Structure 1
Amino acid sequence: MTTAPTRIRTERPVIALDPVDAALIDLLREDGRATFSDMGNGVNLSGEAIRHRIDRLERAGVIKVVGSVSPEVLGFETFALVAINVSTSATAVAEKLAEFPAADFVVSTAGEFDILVEVVCRDDDELLEVLDSIRAVPGVQQCRTFLYLSFDKYVYDESSPTGLGGARRLGPGTQQAPATLDEADLTIIRALREDGRASYTDLAAISGMTYPSARRRVLRLRESGVLHINTIVNPLVLQRRVQAGIGVKVTGNIRAVAEQLHGMPEVGMVLTTSGPHDLMLEVTCRDKADLADFVGSRLRSIESVSATHTYTYLHIHKLAYTWSGLT
């Protein structure tokens, strides 16, 4: 729902990185708020040169530095995937659904369903309201809801040998709230979700605090585990990838299967759900042939996996790098 490879919408061309770019990305993965000067010392360039490099990488869609915070910290406790069939243009319906604040992710797919929508709600009552609103959208013909029961994996491994890399949003339950979050905390969180490298001067101005106070707030939020600064690296820009959602039916121990899937580098998400799929996965593969091999061979070779349904992503209409609809 905090950070992506992550689901990343892009129509930008594939670009090449030089060794300095790659080194900067590694430094930003270690600390998304590292100073230009410190990074410059690491690659023997001036701070101003580093500023231009990072600006170019961000404008090209290669990286995005964002603040991530668990929705549970903000009082959101109900999560679901809504699978939708339409009787009209899937693009038109998907763009309408992308306007819903509760919709964290909207994608057109190839497969049994035309559109998948991930929704984040405060409770079951709000989920019911959202589902009613989705059904009321012109062109929506059928909805099937997969309620998330547990988050067995919700992060991409940056050291993946496949080279898929990239920071995925942190999953629910991975962050702890401090005793209280006041309006200044929430203001800072909102700003850092948009720009994880926002200056302390800017954060002080928007929160109405002094520079030292704003800096202390950010450090406290990070040290408490509420706020993480993540550098999202977009492999879909660097080299074309194929992403898909996969529904898995299990005949044995669901947890045991989830544990095996957790170690597969292609798998970025493993969710236990209610409904016809016991597990929902999100995978990233090098190409369609690699996806076919993953589903037809590696996934089906797991004992107790009895059936799979693949929903290949065609176009991502909404992707929040963080839980953008919250607060």
Structure 2
Amino acid sequence: MRANLDEIDEQLVRALHRDGRASYETLARLVGLARSTTKARVQRLLGEGGIRLVGAIHPAVFGLNQLGHVIVETHGPAAPVAEQIAELDEISFVTTTAGRFAVTAELRTEDMEAFAHGLARVQAVPGVRAVQAITYLRIWKDPYFPPGPLESPGPLSEIELDASDHALLAHLRADGRASFAELASVSGLSPGATRARVLRLLESGVVHVGALVRLNPLSRTYTVGFALNMIGETEPVAREVVALDEIDCFATGIGWCNGIGTIRAGSLDDVLATLERLRALPGVRTVESWAHLRAIKEESDRALPLAGAPASVHS
């Protein structure tokens, strides 16, 4: 049975979302508890609590420079449609939903041509009645990606990755809080050199370590998607959106809406309050929302190998 989430747990999840490798001392100061108590809380959250700490790797490392979100209306039952969409290679995330849309999904491809091809494959799935898409221009907040514009080559324009870097990224992707000693064992470097490499990867934006909750949530947690249509420049609105604690992820782009994201909250009252805050933001014209019911496929299911990367420099 998963532990119920109290306010201190919520604070810890938010802090780990921002920095999944934050020290227990830092976390203890934040929540006002002893280090040992804070460590026990974090370990409970990582165990029965159901969160994971993962390394969110910049999509350019995978050669993925075009990302976007699609909403799907269906003829008849949604589950068979969602299952077929989840089988497509371009698809990284699929859920069934309550609301106007039966299914939502995320596409990640090399370029716009490949994105259009993937979208056509979604449209061709039997049972799909209509599809609308938004292509991302900038990720503002997401457990899986470092925030920033989606432009090629991204942080790779300033940093070259070698076999040790790839091994570190592969390990951080599975365990974002792995110790430097553990990371050194897969990198082939000393613990000191490994620490320097990891800090370089974090500071350059190649990877961000954060708390992943998504649709494997803590009990009493609601996951609600939303789409914004905004007036004028999106950046001022986006900064206000991601400042809200309940916002789990948010991206802006071009398509049927110009901003899309997810709310994670402990009660329906909190969901409603967050939606009301979004509606009240200057520059927001409309807000549409839907409840995520079940994850058919999540990004972690893809387990994409890093381009040219061995699991370990010793393999």
Task: State the TM-score bracket (shorter-chain normalisation).
Answer: 0.7 to 0.9
In structure 1, the partner of 2:173 is 193
Match runs of 1:23-102 below 5 Å: 32=20, 43=34, 57-102=45-90
Q: Distance in 1 between matches of 2:245 and 2:14?
A: 19
Asked if residue 146 in structure 1 is aligned to residue 134 in structure 2, the reply is yes
Asked if residue 298 in structure 1 is aligned to residue 287 in structure 2, the reply is no
Q: For residue 202 of structure 2, what is the amino acid of its counterpart?
A: R
Q: What is the Cα deviation at residue 179 of structure 1? A: 2.9
Distance 1:313 1:320, change over 3 A: same
Q: Distance in 1 between matches of 2:183 and 2:82?
A: 34
Q: Distance in 1 between matches of 2:10 and 2:242?
A: 27
In structure 2, the partner of 1:264 is 244
In structure 1, the partner of 2:298 is 319
Contact map agreement 2:220 2:267 (CA 8 A) in 1 = yes
Contact map agreement 1:62 1:234 (CA 8 A) in 2 = no
Q: What is the Cα deviation at residue 313 of structure 1? A: 1.2
Contact map agreement 1:200 1:211 (CA 8 A) in 2 = no
Q: Which of these residues, 139, 146, 153, is aligned with residue 170 of structure 1? A: 146
Q: What is the Cα deviation at residue 81 of structure 1? A: 0.5
In structure 1, the partner of 2:4 is 15
Q: For residue 249 of structure 1, what is the amino acid of its counterpart?
A: N
Contact map agreement 1:248 1:277 (CA 8 A) in 2 = yes
Contact map agreement 1:193 1:322 (CA 8 A) in 2 = no
Q: For residue 247 of structure 2, what is the amino acid of its counterpart?
A: V
Contact map agreement 2:17 2:211 (CA 8 A) in 1 = yes
Distance 1:323 1:256, change over 3 A: farther
Q: Deviations over 1:122-157 (max 9, x none)?
A: 211221222233234333332222112333x315xx
Q: Distance in 2 between matches of 1:252 and 1:53?
A: 43
In structure 2, the partner of 1:132 is 120
Q: Distance in 2 between matches of 1:95 and 1:217?
A: 39
Q: For residue 317 of structure 1, what is the amino acid of its counterpart?
A: I
Q: For residue 287 of structure 2, what is the amino acid of its counterpart?
A: T
Contact map agreement 2:24 2:35 (CA 8 A) in 1 = no
Contact map agreement 2:53 2:209 (CA 8 A) in 1 = yes
Which runs of 5 or more residues in structure 1 are unaligned?
A: 1-11, 156-166
TM-score by length of 2: 0.72
Q: Distance in 1 between matches of 2:24 and 2:65?
A: 38
In structure 2, the partner of 1:159 is none
Q: Distance in 2 between matches of 1:38 and 1:143?
A: 45
Contact map agreement 1:68 1:322 (CA 8 A) in 2 = no
Q: What is the Cα deviation at residue 26 of structure 1? A: 9.3
Distance 1:89 1:326, change over 3 A: farther
Which runs of 5 or more residues in structure 2 are unaligned?
A: 307-315
Q: For residue 154 of structure 1, what is the amino acid of its counterpart?
A: K
Distance 1:18 1:75, change over 3 A: closer
Q: What is the Cα deviation at residue 118 of structure 1? A: 1.2
Task: Kindly tell me the number of residue pairs found equivalent between the two proteins.
Answer: 297
CA RMSD of aligned residues (A): 4.2
Asked if residue 274 in structure 1 is aligned to residue 279 in structure 2, the reply is no
Contact map agreement 2:71 2:104 (CA 8 A) in 1 = yes
Q: Greater RCO between the two (CA within 8 Å, min separation 6)?
A: 1
Q: For residue 120 of structure 1, what is the amino acid of its counterpart?
A: R
Asked if residue 226 in structure 1 is aligned to residue 206 in structure 2, the reply is yes
TM-score by length of 1: 0.70
Choose 315-324 or 62-71, whichever is displaced more.
315-324
Q: For residue 189 of structure 1, what is the amino acid of its counterpart?
A: L
Distance 1:124 1:230, change over 3 A: same
Q: What is the Cα deviation at residue 79 of structure 1? A: 1.1
